[in-house]
Amino acid sequence: MPTLWLDEIGADDLERVGGKAASLGELTGAGLPVPSAFVVTADTYRSFIEATGIDEPLFEAVDVDSDDSQALAEAAERAQELILETDTPPSVREDLLAAYDEMGDEDVAVRSSATAEDLPDASFAGQQDTYLNVSRTDLLQRVKECWASLFTQRAIYYRNENDFAHDAVDIAVVVQQMVDAEKSGVMFTSHPSTGGPTAIIEAAWGLGEAVVSGAVSPDNYIIDRETGTIDEVTVADKKVMCVRGEDGETIERSVPEEKRNERVLSDEEIHRLLEVGERVEDHYDTPQDVEWAVYEGEVYLLQSRPITTIDDPEGSAGSANEAESQPPGAKSGVADGGAMESQSDAVRLSGIGSAPGRVTGVVRIVDKLDNLDKVEDGDIIVAEMTTPDMVPAMKRANGIITDEGGMTSHAAIVSRELGVPAVVGAEDATQKLRDGETVTLDGDKGTVEKGTKVPETSDEQEDAGPVEAHSAVKPMTGTEVKVNVSIPEAAERAAATGADGVGLLRIEHMILSTDKTPSRYVEDHGERAYVDEIVEGVRSVAEAFYPRPVRVRTLDAPSDEFRQLQGGEDEPSEHNPMLGYRGIRRSLDRPGEFKLELRAFERLYDLGYDNVELMLPLVTDAEDILRAKALMQEVGIDPEKRDWGVMVETPASALSIEDICEAGIDFVSFGTNDLTQYTLAVDRNNGNVADRFDELHPAVLELMRQVIGTCREHDVATSICGQAASKPQMVDFLVDEGVTSISPNIDAVRDVQHEVKRVEQRLLLESVR
Ligand code: PEP
Ligand code: MG
C-alpha cells in the first residue's frame, strides 16, 4: 500500500513510516486528538526510485568527495533534479489523491518523516521539509520535494561525514489536515527535572514554530497536578508569531499590539490541555514533552516525546553545583556549601575558581611535551597552562589546575565548556603538587586541598531543601539568553542548556589546535584544507543548535599565541600584543588569509546552515567594517541576505556607533573583556593591575549605554558576549537599558536566564505601579 492512515500505524512501524508518523499513529490509536493524516510510506519512496530506474543514477550522483564544495553542490542539484523531474507512477498518484479527497479535500500540511532512527532527522531531512497550506494540485510535487530533501548538500555531507550509506536511508511523508492554530506551544506533562507531578505549559499566538524555534518568549504556566491548581502564570511580551503565508510557508509576523501582553491560555484551556497531557503520559507510562495547538476551540496534539532530562532519583538534580556523592576517581559534582567532612589537611593551594564543581582525583602533572595518555579517566590535570592539544585529555579529566591564567584563559574557557571543574592561576601548582597524590579541587572557591573529601551522608543535606534556581525548566525571558562556545566539542552540551543560540563562537581554538599558524597551515596543506578545518569546527556547532542562530567570530588571536605555533617565527614579536596585530586589523592586513575564513562562511551557507551569523572582532570604526564588507562581497557573501555584525570592544567603536550602524550591520556585541581593558588602560593579562580590571566601572557602562541607545534608534540588535555577561549586576544593567541578548558561558546560562527573568518582572511591575 502506498499510503497508510494514522489509525493503521503504531510505534512498531518505525521502519515503514519514520519516527514522526509512528508516534502520531501511536497517539491516534490511544484515542488522543491528533489531526487526521495519512502517510506515504518509505516503501513508496523506495519503489518510486526503483520502478522509475532513478535509483542507480541517484546514488551514483551523490558518491562524491563532500569536502569538494563544487562537487557537493552539483551532486545535490543532480539528485534533487532526478527526483523532482521524474513522474510518479500512476498507481501511486491515484492512491495519494484518493486519500487526499477522503480527508476532506482541504489544504494539507506535508512533512517528511525520516526512517534512519540513529540520525537526527533535522540533520538530513533539513528543516525546510514541512510545507503548509498544500492544495490538491501541488500535493504530488510537495511529496517529491520531501523525498528530495534527503539530498540537500547538508544531508549528503552529513551522511558522508558519519559514514551512513546513502541508499540505507529512506523517507516517509506525512500528509496531515492543517491545524491553522490560533495558539500553540509545548507542555511537559511532569516536571522536566524531578519528574514530580508538576505540569509546565508554554503558549504563544499562532503556529507552534515560533515556540519550538525560540523566536518568541511564550507565556509560562505551572500547574500542580495533584491539586489541579495553577500555581504560576507568567505572561510574556510576545513580539512575534508564526502564521501561514500565502504560498504555504510559515512566516513570522508581529503580534498585534493589544495581544502582545495578553494571556494566551484561559484556566479552562489549561485544564483541557492538562487532561490530554495526562492521558498521553498514562499511555506511554512515562512523562512526555508534548507539542500542542488550539484550533477552533479544540485542543490538538501535534507531537509527543519522552522527557529525557529527568534526573535519576538516586542522583543529583543535574547541575554541576548540586549535591552528589561519588567515589574518588569518578566525575563528581559535590555541592559547594554542602555538609562535608574533610579527611585532608588545610587548603594547599589557591587560585581562581574558573569552572564550578568540587572533585577529587589523582594528580597528573603534564606539560605540552608530555605524553597526555597518562591522564586517565577521573585524574586531575596539573599544568603550567593548558593548550589546545590537551583538550582530549581535559575531557577525560575530573578536574584541571593550572599555574597561570585568568578567567578568560584557555584552561578556564575550555574547562567551563567541558563542565570540568578548574582552578587557574594557582601559581606554583606544578611545583607544590606531586604526581600520583590525591587532591580535592573546588572550582567555585578556587582552592585545592590534599586528600579526599567525602560528603557526609547526614540529615543536614536533606534538610538543605531543594536546590533553587537550577531546575531544568528554562525560564521564559523577553531578552534572549544565548551561550558562548569556544571548542566544537562543547556544542552538544551548550545546546542542551536551552540557550537561545550561540552569542559568540570563537574560531581561534579550531586554528590553534592544528598547532600551526594559518599561513603555515596553508603552506603545508593547501587553502582548501584550511577552509575545511573551519567549516568542520563551525558546522558541528551550527548543527547542534540548528535553527537557533550561531554567531561565529572571525579570527582574533594575539600574535603571542600564534608565536607558540609552528610557523610562529614568522609572526611579529610585539611589545604589547593586546594593542597590536589582532582581530580585524590583522585580517584586513592579510586579505588573502581572511578571505579563506570568509569562504568557510560561504561554504556553510551553501551547506544550508542559514543559522550562521558572521561577527567581526576588535573593530575601530566604520572604515574597518566597510573594508571587511567589501571582502565579504568579493567571496560571494551577500551582506543584505546574511545576518552579520561586529564586536564593540574599543572605546573608538563605541564612540563611532552611529557610523557603524550605517555600515549596514544587523547587530553589535559587547566584548567587555577588551572594552574594559581599553577603556581603563588595564591589560587584561597583567596580574599587577588585575584589581583594577572592573567591567562595571561607570566609564565602561556609559559607553555601553550610549551604544545601546543609538543601536535601538537604528534597529540594530545589541548583545554582550564578554565574561561580564555572567555577572548579575551587568545583566541587571543591560536588561534595564534594553539589550537584545546576553551570552554568558555555559555554566552560567541557567543563572542568567533566572536573573533576566527577575529583572524583566521588576520592570513590568514598575511599569504598572
Ligand atoms: C571580549 O573581549 O569580551 C570577548 C568576548 O572577546 P575575547 O575574550 O575573545 O577577546
Ligand atoms: Mg575581545
pLDDT digits (tens, 9 = 90+) for 250-304: 788 889 999 999 999 999 999 999 999 999 999 988 888 888 999 988 999 988 8
Query: For residue 483, which of 507, 506, 508, 500 has the smallest C-alpha distance?
Result: 500
Cα of 343 from ligand 2 centre, angstroms: 42
Q: Is 283 a catalytic residue?
A: no
Query: For residue 144, which of 19, 48, 247 has the smallest C-alpha distance?
Result: 48
Cα of 674 from ligand 1 centre, angstroms: 6
CB 445 within 8 A of CB 723: no
pLDDT digits (tens, 9 = 90+) for 157-214: 877 877 788 888 888 999 999 888 999 988 989 876 567 898 988 899 998 877 765 5
pLDDT digits (tens, 9 = 90+) for 525-559: 999 999 999 999 999 999 999 889 999 999 999 99
CATH 3.40.50.12280 fits 183-306, yes or no: no
Q: What does each C-alpha distance from 70 to 64, 65, 66, 157 come to in angstroms?
A: 10, 10, 9, 12
Q: For a pocket test of ligand 1, which of 354, 407, 408, 559 has the largest count of ligand atoms closer than 8 A to its C-beta? A: 408
Separation CA 246–CA 252 (nearest Å): 12
Angle at which helix 698-713 crosses helix 728-737, to 10 degrees, equals 30
**Over 60: is that where the pLDDT of 343 sits?**
no
More confident residue, 119 or 492: 492
Closest ligand 1 atom number to CA of residue 723: 3
pLDDT digits (tens, 9 = 90+) for 499-520: 999 999 999 988 888 889 999 9
CB 43 within 8 A of CB 89: no
Give the HSE-up count for residue 345: Cα atoms under 13 Å, Cβ half-sphere.
7
**What ligand is nearest to the CA atom of residue 723?**
1
Cα of 649 from ligand 1 centre, angstroms: 8
pLDDT attached to residue 120: 42
Q: For a pocket test of ligand 1, which of 647, 668, 670, 741 has the largest count of ligand atoms closer than 8 A to its C-beta? A: 647
Instruction: Say which residue the cell 524531578 belongs to.
Output: 194
| Nearest CA owner, ligand 1 atom 6 | 671
**What ligand is nearest to the CA atom of residue 619?**
2
Beta bridge partners of 187: 201, 290
| Nearest CA owner, ligand 1 atom 1 | 671
Closest ligand 1 atom number to CA of residue 649: 2
pLDDT digits (tens, 9 = 90+) for 96-109: 999 999 998 788 98
Domain borders along the chain are 3-177, 183-306, 347-450, 480-768
Q: For a pocket test of ligand 1, which of 615, 694, 700, 721 has the largest count of ligand atoms closer than 8 A to its C-beta? A: 721
Q: How confident is the model at residue 618 (pLDDT cuts 50, 70, 90)?
A: very high
**What ligand is nearest to the CA atom of residue 725?**
1
Edge-to-edge strands, sheet with 741-742: 480-481, 741-742, 717-720, 667-670, 644-648, 612-616, 550-553, 502-506, 483-485
Beta strands 352-355 and 422-424, pairing class: antiparallel
Q: What does each C-alpha distance from 480 to 202, 215, 756 come to in angstroms?
A: 16, 9, 9
**What ligand is nearest to the CA atom of residue 504?**
1
Helix (H) or strand (E) holding 205: strand 198-205
Closest ligand 1 atom number to CA of residue 484: 5
Pocket of ligand 1 (CB under 6 A): 408, 504, 506, 556, 649, 671-674, 721-722
Q: What does each C-alpha distance from 191 to 311, 461, 719, 750 come to in angstroms?
A: 10, 22, 31, 16
**Which one of the listed residues 146, 661, 711, 721 is annotated catalytic?**
721
Separation CA 379–CA 398 (nearest Å): 5
Q: Is 697 a catalytic residue?
A: no
Cα of 673 from ligand 2 centre, angstroms: 6
DSSP helix/strand/coil, 727:
coil
| Nearest CA owner, ligand 1 atom 4 | 671
| Nearest CA owner, ligand 1 atom 8 | 673
Cα of 524 from ligand 1 centre, angstroms: 30
Q: What is the grid cell recorded at 21?
A: 508518523
Cα of 551 from ligand 2 centre, angstroms: 14
**Over 60: is that where the pLDDT of 739 sits?**
yes
Q: How confident is the model at residue 465 (pLDDT cuts 50, 70, 90)?
A: very low
With a pLDDT cut of 90, the percent of the chain lying above it is 52
**What ligand is nearest to the CA atom of residue 671?**
1
pLDDT attached to residue 195: 76
- Mean pLDDT, to the nearest integer, of 67-77? 83
Average pLDDT taken over every residue of the chain? 85
Closest ligand 1 atom number to CA of residue 724: 3
Instruction: Say which residue the cell 588573502 belongs to.
Output: 592
pLDDT attached to residue 248: 62
Neighbours of ion ligand 2 (CB under 5 A): 649, 671, 674
Which ranges of 39-193 does DSSP label H, i.e. alpha helix? 42-51, 55-61, 69-84, 90-103, 121-125, 139-148, 153-161
Question: What letter would DSSP give residue 110?
Answer: E
Q: Which fold has domain 3-177?
A: Dna Ligase; domain 1 (3.30.1490)
CB 143 within 8 A of CB 257: no
Helix (H) or strand (E) holding 187: strand 183-188
Backbone angles phi, psi at 370, to 5 degrees: -65, 155
Question: What letter would DSSP give residue 89?
Answer: P
Q: What is the CATH number of domain 480-768?
A: 3.20.20.60
Cα of 505 from ligand 1 centre, angstroms: 11
Out of 3.30.365.10, 3.40.605.10, 3.50.30.10, 3.40.50.720, the CATH code matching 347-450 is 3.50.30.10
Beta strands 229-234 and 240-244, pairing class: unpaired
Question: What's the sign of the alpha-carbon dihedral 253, 257, 261, 262?
Answer: negative
Query: For residue 113, which of 70, 69, 143, 136 has the smallest C-alpha distance?
Result: 143
**Which one of the listed residues 166, 410, 509, 754 is annotated catalytic?**
410
Question: Does the predicted TM-score (pTM) go above 0.75?
Answer: no
pLDDT attached to residue 355: 85
Cα of 682 from ligand 2 centre, angstroms: 14
pLDDT attached to residue 632: 97
